[in-house]
Structures are given as structure tokens and as C-alpha cells.
Amino acid sequence: MDSIMKWRPGINSVSQARLLLVGPVGAGKSSFFNSVCSVFKGHVKIQANTGTAATSLTTQFRAYSIRGCGEKPLPLVLCDTMGMEESLNAGLDIDDYTSILKGNVPDRYQFNPSMPMQETSPGFRKSVGVKDKIHCVVYVIDASKVKLLPDRMIEKFAAFRRKANLLAIPQVVLMTKVDEACPLVADDLKNVYCSKNLEGMMREVAVQLGLSMAAVIPVKNYSQEFELDPITDILLLNAVTQMLRMAESYFDDLAEDEEKTD
């Protein structure tokens, strides 16, 4: 917790890393924000809408800062999006996704799946700086549904990956609900890195999305608990640490480009 609070971006014009959570409906994007917020608040907290609806409960683009007990905001912003859906004209649109990556979409923008945001849309941010852009994309996937991802959803992930690659944005996978995916982990969360079953799922996700195994981070969100658990907290904090390190590589690349230009 201390190292996360003390972390700083490597560029003077940026005070917080912007981490974008993207994934299918019900994968645990909003729950991850609530869980990380809970760790720093010292008790289980629900701020972002969560649930089990068939369509996304998140209908706005939200950029959440996290504050600890009496602390300043953490040096990161977790950006929540509408969930991805398999069918066409439903869920997060790839054009809206691209606009978010580029920093054009303001906080609380109301998504319209049938009409992506345009330059002429109200609130479209034309003038953007590095601080407004996304510095790391986090694909959120339910571990218990890894083997059930439809081909269309994998194709959407691939399209999203290509857009982020074009903009040189680092990407990781947050694999949630690991306790529901493996009985060994459900019995003891400390077994998360000992489970061959879970390792196989992580490997499969890495192959499906074209990322390395090191970019797949297993976590358990707080969903029905009333009290915090140290092991759950450790996995959540490890995930945030890895995301910040990826964002750091984004800033390092920018600094190198600036040096070459000079």
C-alpha cells in the first residue's frame, strides 16, 4: 500500500496514471474498483454499480480516483467502461473505446452503443494532453468463463488490442473470480499460484489475447464479504502494482521519444 501511495509517473505533466478497465458484462470491472477502494478505506465499500444483469450496468464512462482514510488521492485513476457484448451494436463500441484511449471522452459521458461519440458530440474533448490519455489498458476476464468465451468476443478483444497497440499503450489481463474457477483456490486463496488448473486458464487467456503469461494477473474481488481479508488484499494490491509498472513503461517510452526529438 505504501509503495502504491508513493508511486509517481515519470512525466511532470502527469500526476495520476489512467488505467482503463475493459471486459465482458459481469467480468468484475466495477467490482475491482470497489475492491481496491475497500483496501485503502480499510473496510468493504461499494461505490461503483455492480450486479449480475445480462447487459452492462455501467452506462457511463467513469474515471474514479481513490482516496485512503484521510489521505490524498492515489497516483492512479481507474476508468470504468460499459461492458463488452457479443452482439453487434451492443456494449462498448470500438470507436468509443478509441476515443477513450486518446483522451477525448470526459468523465460521466453517457454511452450510446448505436451512435459512437463524434467530434461534434457534446463534451467531446478536442484538446488533450498526456494526462487525459489512457496509460494502460486492463482487460478484465472472469476466470470461470475463460473456456466459454465466444469467438465473436475473442474477435472483439483482438480488435481492441490492435487499437491499443497502434497507440503504443501497454496492456494486461486481470483474471477475476479465481476462487470460482478452481476448487483448490476456493479452499485456500493462497493456492492461487500453485493451481495447475488456474495456470492452464491463465495460459489460455494469454494465447487468446496475444499477451505473455506475465501480463495475466489473478485476483479475487470483494463480492459478498463484509470484512477485509489479507490474502485478497495482497492479490488486489499486486494487481495495482503490476498495472502501475506497465503505465510506467508508457511514460518511459514518451520520455525516450522526447529525448530523440530534442
How many Cβ atoms from other residues are within 10 Å of residue 40's Cβ? Answer: 20
Residues of the chain below pLDDT 70: 47-58, 69-70, 88-89, 113, 257-262
Q: With respect to residue 116, please indicate whether it lies within any of the assigned structural domains.
A: yes
For 86, 132, 214, the CA distances from 205, given in Å and listed in that order, are: 17, 29, 11
pLDDT at 200: 93
Q: How many domains does the chain fold into?
A: 1
Residue type, 132: D
Return the CATH number at 240.
Answer: 3.40.50.300
Q: Is residue 79 part of a domain?
A: yes
Q: Is this model's pTM higher than 0.85 or not?
A: yes
Summarize pLDDT for 94-106 with one digit per residue, the tens: 999 999 999 999 9
Maximum distance among all alpha carbons in the chain?
56
Residue 256 belongs to a domain = no
Instruction: For 12, list phi and psi in degrees, rounded to 5.
Output: -60, -30
Instruction: Decide if 9 is inside a domain.
Output: no
Residue 11 maps to a domain? no
* pLDDT at residue 82, rounded to an integer: 86
The phi-psi region of residue 28 (left if phi > 0; otherwise alpha if psi is between -120 and 50; otherwise beta) is left
Taking residue 94's Cβ as centre, other Cβ atoms within 10 Å add up to: 14
| Residue that has been written with the C-alpha cell 457534446 in this structure | 122
In this structure, the chain runs to a length of 262
Half-sphere exposure of 232 (CA within 13 A, CB side): 26
**Which domain, by its residues, includes 178?**
17-248
Q: What does the buried/exposed string (b/e) look like for 169-184 if buried means 16 or more CB atoms within 10 Å of the residue's CB?
A: bbbbbbbbbbbebbee
181, part of any domain = yes
- What percent of the chain is predicted at pLDDT more than 90? 62
pLDDT tens per residue across span 21-56: 999 988 999 899 999 999 999 999 876 554 444 445
Q: Is the residue at 199 inside a domain?
A: yes
- For residue 254, being part of any structural domain is answered with no
* CA distances from residue 150 to 34, 84, 236, 245 in whole angstroms, order as listed: 28, 12, 27, 31
